Structure 1
Amino acid sequence: MPLFRWTLKTEKKALILWAVSLTITLLLFLFMYPSILKEKEAYEKILAVYPKEVLEAFAIELDTLLSFHGYLGYVYGYILLALGIYSMRLGLTTIGKEISRNTSEFLFTKPVKRSRVLLEKGLAAFLLMLFLTLSLLLAALFMEYLYAEKKEPGITFLIVFSAFFLQMLFYSLGLLMGILKRKVRFFSSSAIGVVSAFYILSMVSQVLQKDYLRYAAPFRYFDVSEIMRSGTYDRVFLLFSLLLTTLLLLFSFTALKRKALSAG
């Protein structure tokens, strides 16, 4: 599988950079957890100043925030934003890089079917995203061992591993956009723009508390409070995210198959 190995090789440096930076960021935030517990009254006074709508937008509940898993979920919300940008960019560049650089003709005229190209590159991307998620999971489990009064590694796993489903969704969306667009000039800025828009939409849906808006807000598919309360994912939104991912991948395959080589 030459394309599979080639994709892993070309993305190795970027993966290491993202994994190290995000893991260190998560560790630094979680190292602050004991000091937050000691300053409980101070945080109560600070949060009392903010309007209710602001707290809802950022999904801040004091009782939840002062538990290890609640604090992990709050911090991880910002990590998810970065992971979404990483996976979206990865999807945009999977095929979109060749299309934008007019090298798709060379790629697709090789004795390899387009479906094989998409499969090998997609498998490599999923492996990269899985590695990134697992590195964060190990860091979170380590910090839980150090600081959590009540050890529930299963809850930690569910909170952190939800990122993998979210990454697959954004990767699939980026993949389709990269194939459909004639030319993507700035992959990173495009990824930041799209993912940030969904993040803002998630905040708006949190404030408005409209159930139907949640379906358009991927960052709310795996709610930390629900995970802590039930010990599992919401089946409806888990299946919905998997269905969206599958549909986007199918649309990507169809779009790539129909794309004229001259449009590359």
Structure 2
Amino acid sequence: MNIFIREMKANRKSLIIWSICMVLFVLSGMSKYTTYSSGGAASEALAKLPHSMRALLGMGTFNVSKMSGFFAFLFPYIEVTVAVHAVLLGSHILAKEERDKTTEFLMVKPVSRSSIMTSKFLAALANIIVINVVTLISSIIFVGAFNKGKDITSEIIVFLLSLFIVQLIFVSLGSLFSAILKKPKTAGSWATFILFGGFIIAKITDLAENLEFLNVFSPFKYFSYEDIVNGDGLNFIVVILSLVMVAVFSTLSYFFYQKRDLNV
């Protein structure tokens, strides 16, 4: 418990900054909705964009003049931003002891490495839950403020549930890189590289439907935004497989962290 509290205090400033940034991000995105929903020349220009351009911008087949379609268009950018937070948190929460030269202080405590990791994982989980809840609440508030059509609160909740699963994937992936690499300070760079690689794959498969098999390498494509907008929710099988992936990454993190020689 002491380690958990210590980690929460250590990440408090970062958590506050990220939370404020997410509120401002959602507000900024929602403030642009009036441009898309006004029905003027801007809306006509968007409607006439070729499929490839709409796919590149993340619009796909969504009707961005409606709030449900606009939120689905905005959501990938919310998702990748929050995923960056998760992957950096996962990689740094294990590596920071070696970075800050406090490994020896931690290791002399009468606790096992597995207990240390569990406390750190719980602290990371608490952080991503806070970010998710902040994003959820700000999305509901600002969507409600700008929306003049059908209420989409239920769709927003499903979107943020899918976001939470993606957060779990990347926080566990970041911790795995930190546990495996001999220089854990580079874990954040490698994990972020993988994250943006997944985002690029998502954009490629939006442009080229014959490459959709690559979506298995991109958590950003695990859940269908179209299904969420249409009220079909999340694919149960994909949810289970995603949680299995999180479990595998986390278990491997425990295994490699137990075996690795820590730098003091």
TM-score normalised by the chain length of structure 2: 0.90
Q: Which residue of the partner structure matches residue 220 of structure 2?
A: 219
**Displacement of 1:161:** 2.9
Q: Which residue of the partner structure matches residue 232 of structure 1?
A: 233
Higher mean displacement: 171-180 or 105-114: 105-114
- Superposed CA offset, 1:234-254 (max 9, x none): 223212211111100011111
**Displacement of 1:60:** 1.3
Correspondence 1:109-124 to 2 at 5 A = 109-124=108-123
Q: Which runs of 5+ in 2 are unaligned?
A: none
Is this contact kept in 1: 2:227–2:234, CA < 8 A?
yes
**Displacement of 1:134:** 0.6
Change (3 A) 1:174 1:188: closer
Is this contact kept in 1: 2:83–2:167, CA < 8 A?
yes
Higher mean displacement: 181-190 or 91-100: 181-190
**Displacement of 1:64:** 2.7
Correspondence 1:98-113 to 2 at 5 A = 98-100=97-99, 103-113=102-112
Is this contact kept in 1: 2:37–2:43, CA < 8 A?
no
Change (3 A) 1:101 1:142: closer
**Displacement of 1:211:** 4.1
Q: Which runs of 5+ in 1 are unaligned?
A: none
CA distance in 2, matches of 1:45, 1:66: 12
TM-score normalised by the chain length of structure 1: 0.90
Percent identity between the two aligned chains = 21
**1:243 maps to amino acid:** V
CA distance in 2, matches of 1:191, 1:247: 16
CA distance in 2, matches of 1:136, 1:40: 30
Q: Which residue of the partner structure matches residue 143 of structure 1?
A: 142
Q: SS at the partner of 1:215?
A: helix
**Displacement of 1:53:** 2.5
Change (3 A) 1:155 1:177: same
Q: Which residue of the partner structure matches residue 167 of structure 1?
A: 167
Is this contact kept in 2: 1:26–1:76, CA < 8 A?
no
**2:193 maps to amino acid:** G
Correspondence 1:178-197 to 2 at 5 A = 178-185=178-185, 189-197=189-197
Higher mean displacement: 1-10 or 33-42: 33-42
Q: SS at the partner of 1:60?
A: coil
Change (3 A) 1:89 1:260: same
**Displacement of 1:47:** 5.2
CA distance in 1, matches of 2:187, 2:26: 25
**2:116 maps to amino acid:** V
Correspondence 1:87-98 to 2 at 5 A = 87-98=86-97
Root mean square deviation, CA, Å: 2.2
1:260 aligns with 2:250: no
